[in-house]
Amino acid sequence: MRQLSALKEETQRWRKLERRVNDLRELVDISLQEDDLSLEQEVRSEVDRISAEVDKLDLQLLLSGEYDRRNAIVALHAGAGGTESQDWAEMLLRMYVRWAERRGFRTEVLDTSPGEEAGIKSAMLEINGEYAYGYLRSERGVHRLVRLSPFDSDHARHTSFALVEVLPEADEETEVKINPEDLKIETFRSSGPGGQGMQKTSSAVRITHLPSGLVASCQSERSQYQNKEIALRVLQARLLEQEQIRRADERAKLKGEHQSAGWGNQIRSYVLHPYRMVKDHRTGYETSDTAAVLDGDLDEFMEAYLRSQIGKAK
Q: What is the pLDDT of residues 155-167, one digit of tens each?
A: 788 999 999 999 9
Residue 210 has pLDDT above 80, yes or no: yes
Model pTM?
0.75
How crowded is the C-beta side of 5, counted as CA atoms within 13 Å?
A: 4
What's the mean pLDDT in 205-234?
88
Domain topology for 180-255: Double Stranded RNA Binding Domain (3.30.160)
Question: Domain segments of the chain: what residues?
Answer: 2-61, 72-169+282-308, 180-255
Q: Which CATH number fits domain 72-169+282-308: 3.40.640.10, 3.30.70.1660, 3.10.20.30, 3.30.590.20?
A: 3.30.70.1660
What's the mean pLDDT in 279-294?
97
Kind of pairing, strands 141-148 and 266-271? parallel
Sign, CA dihedral 9-64-54-300, equals positive
Q: SS3 of 113, please?
A: strand
pLDDT of residue 313: 52
Report which of 248, 223, 220, 19 is spatially closest to residue 126, judged by C-alpha positions: 220
Helix (H) or strand (E) holding 207: strand 204-209
pLDDT of residue 194: 46
Helix (H) or strand (E) holding 246: helix 224-255
Give dist(CA 284, CA 282) in Å, integer: 6
What's the mean pLDDT in 171-188?
80
Instruction: Tell me how far apart the terminal alpha carbons of the chain are, to the nearest angstrom.
Output: 23
Give Cα separations from 61 to 17, 56, 297, 301, 309 (angstroms). Answer: 15, 9, 21, 17, 12
Residue 54 has pLDDT above 60, yes or no: yes
CA 143 distance to own-chain centroid: 13
pLDDT of residue 18: 92
